Structure 1
Amino acid sequence: MKAIQYRTYGSSDVIEQVEVSIPSIQSDNDVLIKVKAAGINPIDMKIRMGFMKEIRPVEMPFIPGGEASGIIAAVGARVTKFKLGDEVIALTKKHSYAQYVTAKENSVLLKPEGLSFEEASSIGVNIGTAQTVLFTEGKLERGQKVLIQGGGGAVGGAMIQMAKAAGAYVMATASGEGVALAKKLGADKVIDYKLNDVATIAKDIDLVADTAGGDAQEKLFQILKPGGKLLSIATQPSQDLAEQYNVTAYFVASDISSENLKQGIDLIEAGKFVPIVSKIFKLEYAAIAQDFLGAGGANGKVVLLVE
């Protein structure tokens, strides 16, 4: 089968397309999936560049990719939820940049009928992250005010839709075409952070969901109400500033599990969540696709089409 791999950490130059054997089912609870599309996430680049090797080492040569959509090609002896031919979403954690991938049965869900394979491959990490930040950790409730830093991105767009569906008042920051996208997805107020100072517009926010990190994060403390929360998936927030502003602030590691996707899948099936795919690349152009995402400004998810 065709697969994307690299043999050493480094820039996108280390990425190559190769021919390797189709993986075999390793346990009775595994399924084999013929991949139709694979989502690209920032962590894919962090792993490739070696930034994660202390906490998430990989065995070289390594096939990247943590989420995919496709068709069940084989099932283990104890698999009961899926059968040959089922169209599914898989949270693989690795190896999805390939024509076939294996996954545990409990890491797989049936693909919503209305979604294309490209759309289906774009939602797993986005929904899992949004669910973790907004509800598991953020405890967001109807009527509360949330600001999403980076509302034009793939995860930020998912957060907007899920927060709005939960009855929150949703503010978001974005720039360029991301401003219109954030509005389209349902944000009540969108702040173009390149033209405006967020701290002069947003006030008394219950929860800030930060997907961007960087220097802009410090401004976010100023817009929280006392007792509010700043949760970041990008960088660890300053505890000195958290104490100064009497708020809670910490880094959140996303729970990307099939169980954590159920609420988002329900919203998709109810027509209250729309996957946003920014750009689709063929599998052979995986290096270009990663560089495109890494350059920033992608409004939605970048996806690999696997043929």
Structure 2
Amino acid sequence: MKAIQYKNYGSSAVIEQVEIPTPSIQNENDVLIQVKAAAINPIDIKIRTGIMKKIRPVQMPFIPGGEASGIIIEIGSEVSKFKVGDEVIALTKTSAYAQYVTVNENAVLLKPQSLSFEEAASISVNIGTAQSVLFTEGKLEKGQKVLIQGGGGAAGGAMVQMAKAAGAYIIATASGNGVALAKSLGADEVIDYKLYDVSTIATDVDLVADTAGGEAQEKLFQVLKQGGRLLSIVSPPSLLLAEKFNVNARFVASDISLKSLENGIDLIGTGKFKTIVSKTFKLEEAAIAQDFLTVGGVNGKVVLLVE
């Protein structure tokens, strides 16, 4: 089968397409999936560059890709939830950049019929991240005010929609085409962060979802009410600033599991969640696709189409 792999950490130049044996089912609870689409996520790039090798080392050669959609073509002897021919979404953790992948059935769910394969491949990390930040850790409730960075991005756009469905008041930051997109997804206010200083406009916020880190993160302390929460998916916030502003601030590791996806999948079923695929690339264009995401300013998800 065709697969994308690299043998060393580095720039996108280390990525290559190779021919390797098709994986076979090794566990009685595994399913073999013919991959139709695989998502590109920022963590794929962080792993490839080696900046995460101390906390998430990988064995070389490595096939990246943590989420995919496709068709089950073989099942293990004890698989009870699926059958051959089922169209599914798979939380693969690795190895999704390939024509075939094996996954335990407990990391697989049926693809919503309303979604194409490319749309289905784009939702797991977004929804799981949004669920973790807004509800599992953020305890967001109806009527509360939430500020979401990057409301036109992949994770931020999911947060806007899920917060809207929960009855929150949403302030989103965005730029360029992302401003209109965040508004269309349900944001009550959208602030163009390239034109305005968010910290001088937003006030009395219950929850801030930080997707940028750095200097932008530091300014977000100022918009929170006392006792509010600043949760970052990028880097640990300053404890000194948290104490100064009397807020709860911490880094959140996203829970990407079937349980974390339930809320978002339900919203898709009721038409309250829209998938946003920014651009698609062919499998052999994986290096170009990762570079496209690295440049930034992407409104929605980047997806590989696998033939």
Please say if 1:132 is aligned against 2:123. Answer: no
The within-5 A match list for 1:142-221 is 142-221=142-221
Q: Give the C-alpha shift of residue 104 in structure 1.
A: 1.0
The corresponding residue for 1:286 is 286
Q: Give the C-alpha shift of residue 77 in structure 1.
A: 1.0
Q: Give the C-alpha shift of residue 215 in structure 1.
A: 1.0
CA distances 1:43-88 after superposition (whole Å, capped 9, x unpaired): 0000001111111111111100000000001111111110000000
CA distances 1:115-173 after superposition (whole Å, capped 9, x unpaired): 00000000000000000000000000000000001111100000000000000001100
Q: Secondary structure at the match of 1:215?
A: helix
The within-5 A match list for 1:1-307 is 1-307=1-307
Measure, in 1, the Cα distance between the counterparts of 2:275 and 2:55.
30
Amino acid in the other structure paired with 1:150: G
Measure, in 2, the Cα distance between the counterparts of 1:52 and 1:298.
23
Q: Give the C-alpha shift of residue 26 in structure 1.
A: 1.6
CA distances 1:197-253 after superposition (whole Å, capped 9, x unpaired): 101110000000011112111110000000000000011100000000000000000
Measure, in 1, the Cα distance between the counterparts of 2:171 and 2:298.
19
Amino acid in the other structure paired with 1:302: V
Measure, in 1, the Cα distance between the counterparts of 2:55 and 2:197.
36
Q: Secondary structure at the match of 1:271?
A: coil
Measure, in 2, the Cα distance between the counterparts of 1:91 and 1:51.
23
Number of corresponding residues: 307
Gaps of 5+ in 1: none
Report runs of 4+ in structure 1 exceeding 4 Å deviation: none
Q: Give the C-alpha shift of residue 97 in structure 1.
A: 0.1
Measure, in 2, the Cα distance between the counterparts of 1:234 and 1:129.
11
Measure, in 2, the Cα distance between the counterparts of 1:242 and 1:157.
26
Amino acid in the other structure paired with 1:168: A
Measure, in 2, the Cα distance between the counterparts of 1:195 and 1:266.
36
Amino acid in the other structure paired with 1:231: L
Amino acid in the other structure paired with 2:86: D
Measure, in 2, the Cα distance between the counterparts of 1:51 and 1:256.
21
Q: Give the C-alpha shift of residue 108 in structure 1.
A: 0.5
Gaps of 5+ in 2: none
Measure, in 2, the Cα distance between the counterparts of 1:94 and 1:213.
26
Measure, in 2, the Cα distance between the counterparts of 1:75 and 1:114.
25
Q: Percent of counterpart pairs with the same letter?
A: 77
Measure, in 1, the Cα distance between the counterparts of 2:29 and 2:133.
30
Measure, in 1, the Cα distance between the counterparts of 2:204 and 2:277.
33
Measure, in 1, the Cα distance between the counterparts of 2:99 and 2:258.
22
Q: Give the C-alpha shift of residue 107 in structure 1.
A: 0.6
Measure, in 2, the Cα distance between the counterparts of 1:281 and 1:58.
25
Aligned CA-pair RMSD: 0.5
Measure, in 2, the Cα distance between the counterparts of 1:168 and 1:16.
45
CA distances 1:6-34 after superposition (whole Å, capped 9, x unpaired): 00000000000000111111211111100
